[in-house]
Amino acid sequence: MKLFNTLTNKKEEFKPIKEGEVSLYVCGPTVYNYVHIGNTRPMIVFDVLRRTFEYLGNQVTFVSNFTDVDDKIIKAAKEEGITEKELTDKYIKAYEDVRRDLNLEFPTYAPRVTETMDQIIDFIGQLIDKGYAYEVDGDVYFRVSKIDEYGELSGIKIEDLVAGASERVEDKGVKEESTDFALWKKTDEGIQFNSPWSQGRPGWHTECVVMINDIFEDGKIDIHGGGQDLKFPHHENEIAQSRALNGHPIAHTWMHNQMININNEKMSKSLGNVIWAKDLIKELGCNVYKWFMLSSHYRNPLNMTDKIIESVKKEVAKVDNVIKQASLYLQVNGIEIKNFDRVAVDDMVNALADDLNTSLALTDILNQVKVLNQLMRVKEKNNDEIAQAYATLLKMCDVMGFVFEPKQLDDEELELYKKWMDAKAQKNFEEADQYRAKLIEKGII
């Protein structure tokens, strides 16, 4: 497995901390609204990465958090006239519905900030004790200048930073340096927690690093992932805190996916082109949605246009059609499904093992569609080859996380299908058309 490491800016051979085990953390959402399609790109990308590792025989510990404490949550709860807990529960459920609808594996752990508060407060206290953080009137800030490696992920130099660029709270003019970012915020608004410094809530950048510290030994993991927009300041500030307390940059490998554009424009509320994932999934279905998301390399921007979506629909239809046709053929003829061709699947996985080249992997799936189609079209069919090619295509789709469901016929439907096939064979076209109409009505063909 080779992965592009954004910490070193080069593709590297992946070596896990423990042989046969992979630890993966992906930053989750701040749950104050529904998931938009941009949020789902890392969900899908890192699900494929996880499935690839699992196919290769690794045990994967996958963690993705929920940020359920935030100024945006307070504002949204007020607007909806419900408590912050009711709001976050609502949108966490909506997020999990999207994960389920996209056939994504659920995380091994999905911690919430509100359930990790004791660990966060303890973590901040340790940073203060070691001189990496300081308290001012109930707020706590991190001393960025004490980290010599600061900027190692983003390439941004401390001297180039502007005041307030690295935090979500207002600069009150009390920080030692303008680049210092908030670890704890004193507040009298919204949900609050008791701490040695004040009633308040944590800074955004502390939450993920603490959750990693809490779940994984020595706060060290193999891979930390997320969207490109999190690279700075969020991930940079995670690394700074980890270096201060643990002496390492959290993960050996850092991975970042690029953003999604709509008709060559950045998706944003101001442009009014934000698309909720639940709406697009309902419109396109799981397979078309995911095929589009995986059609471009994760480190390249992804542009969504009607033309591109129509092209994706056609490719997905090719896969769906041959799976249904082969499934029906195998059922009608009572042919047992064979083991998949491991060489063919391994070839596809080799593309994924090369920095997650999903576009090439999709090409391999389409090539397998051609193989199966050719086997189905010849007059003298080799049933064993058809059964294996069919199983191979299903396995390829499974590794990528697609859900192409073969049509399972009951006895009555099976008999109807056989009559249609017999009528066609006997060139009784009028009768065949009648059977065909019934099969279409039942959604079998």
Residues 232 and 326 in one domain: no
Tens digits of per-residue pLDDT, 16-33? Answer: 999 999 999 999 999 999
How many CA atoms within 13 Å lie on the side-chain side of 336? 2
- Closest to 431 measured CA to CA, from 418, 442, 412: 418
Number of domains in the chain: 2
Residues 225 and 293 in one domain: no
Cα–Cα distances in angstroms (integers) from residue 356 to residues 43, 196, 336, 437, in the given order:
14, 45, 33, 44
Taken in order 243, 246, 250, 252, is the CA torsion positive or negative? positive
Residues 246 and 300 in one domain: no
Residues 211 and 82 in one domain: yes
- Residue 273 in any domain: the answer is no
- Residue 426 in any domain: the answer is no
Contact between 102 and 56 (Cβ < 8 Å): no
Query: Beta strand pairing status for 251-257 and 221-227?
Result: parallel
Residues in a beta bridge with 59: 21
Query: The CATH number of the domain where 50 resides is what?
Result: 3.40.50.620
- Residue 346 in any domain: the answer is yes
Cα dihedral value 435, 441, 442, 445, nearest 10:
70
| CA-only gyration radius of the chain, Å | 26
Among the candidates 237, 257, 277, a domain finishes at 257
Residues 88 and 161 in one domain: yes
Contact between 427 and 403 (Cβ < 8 Å): no
Domain membership of residue 191 as a residue range:
2-257
Residues 251 and 352 in one domain: no
Pair of tokens at residue 433: 């058309």
Residues 201 and 301 in one domain: no
Q: What is the pLDDT of residue 171?
A: 54
- Residue 21 in any domain: the answer is yes
pLDDT at 414 over 80: yes
Tens digits of per-residue pLDDT, 162-199? Answer: 444 444 445 556 899 989 999 999 999 999 999 999 99
Residues 245 and 375 in one domain: no
- Residue 269 in any domain: the answer is no
- Closest to 196 measured CA to CA, from 126, 121, 131: 121
pLDDT at 397 over 70: yes
- Residue 430 in any domain: the answer is no
What residues contact 126, with CB distance under 8 A and at least 6 apart?
245
Q: What is the pLDDT of residue 174?
A: 86
For the chain, percent of residues with pLDDT exceeding 70: 97
pLDDT at 361 over 80: yes
- Residue 103 in any domain: the answer is yes
Residues 177 and 28 in one domain: yes
Q: What is the pLDDT of residue 406?
A: 84
Q: What is the mean pLDDT of the chain?
A: 94
Pair of tokens at residue 343: 């060489």
- Residue 438 in any domain: the answer is no
Residues 184 and 311 in one domain: no
For the whole model, what pTM was predicted?
0.94
Residues 233 and 373 in one domain: no
* Confidence band of 358 (pLDDT split at 50, 70, 90): very high
Residues 323 and 400 in one domain: yes
Query: The CATH number of the domain where 395 resides is what?
Result: 1.10.730.10
What residues contact 57, with CB distance under 8 A and at least 6 apart?
20
Query: Beta strand pairing status for 2-5 and 10-13?
Result: antiparallel
Tens digits of per-residue pLDDT, 242-300? Answer: 999 999 999 999 999 999 999 999 988 888 899 999 999 999 999 999 999 999 999 99
